Amino acid sequence: MSFIILIRHGQSTWNLEKRFTGWVDVDLTEEGKLEAEKAGSLIKNRDLKIDFYYSSLQLRANKTLKIIQKILNDKKNYKKAWELNERHYGALTSLNKVEMSKKLGEDKVHEFRRSWDVKPEPLSKKSPYHPINIEIYKDIPKEVIPDTESLKDTYERVLEYFKNEIEEKLIKGNILVSAHGNSIRALCKYLFNLDNNKISKLEIPTGNPLIINLDKDLKIKSCEYLDKERAKDLLVF
């Protein structure tokens, strides 16, 4: 039996400011670092052995993973992949969620945030927040860098990477993925076979490890958040 741990990065500076972040490469807050430390301690206290580590290309996910590895005293290399990045919020990027709710209405903003296949207007390529203007994405072919994404778009790139790079590793050992709210929701949709309605309701807390135990056929046997006080409803059992 193997397991996969999914963890959304700790609180970021733009989480704190309630801004649409997407592919912008912001750092963790001090609270976010503490969340990552607690995540590492929760994993350590369970004496969980991790064989393979993955992260998105983004700083907040990388730093969360590094903090966890430090707590675990585990110096294994980890693999970074842009396919595990957060969803691209298009023209909403950098805007305040509360202010946009007042401007567009709560229902419209909720639709942008939680619907399956609705995407915001594209972000101008002239924007400093467009990925083509952010240093960490300089080696990604420009033709695959999005201007905006729906959750469906995010799901398709995350799932392709998962099936090609991660799934087979679960046969060999245990995995931890440090990523983002929407990329983890995408993985949960696949792993738990959630329909489009359920995935729109799934909330992913920051810095709380979700452990999914699998049988030899990679079917889910059980799952739980390690931090019970900050757990969210998984909508699956």
CA dist 96 and 18 (Å) reads 6
- Which residue has tokens 């939680």? 114
CA dist 58 and 40 (Å) reads 19
The first and second tokens of residue 82, run together, are: 């842009």
Expressed in angstroms, the distance from the first to the final Cα of the chain is 20
Of 9, 88, 130, 180, which residue is the catalytic one? 9
Q: Are strands 2-8 and 175-179 parallel, antiparallel or unpaired?
A: parallel
Provide the CA 33 distance to its chain's centre, in angstroms. Answer: 16
> What are the Cα distances from residue 1, in Å, to 45, 48, 84, 188?
20, 13, 25, 19
Nearest C-alpha neighbor of 216 from the set 171, 162, 174: 171
The first and second tokens of residue 164, run together, are: 């090609």
Q: Is 229 annotated as catalytic?
A: no
Nearest C-alpha neighbor of 235 from the set 205, 180, 204, 194: 194
Of 83, 86, 88, 180, which residue is the catalytic one? 86
Q: Is 86 annotated as catalytic?
A: yes
Q: Which residues are catalytic?
A: 9, 86
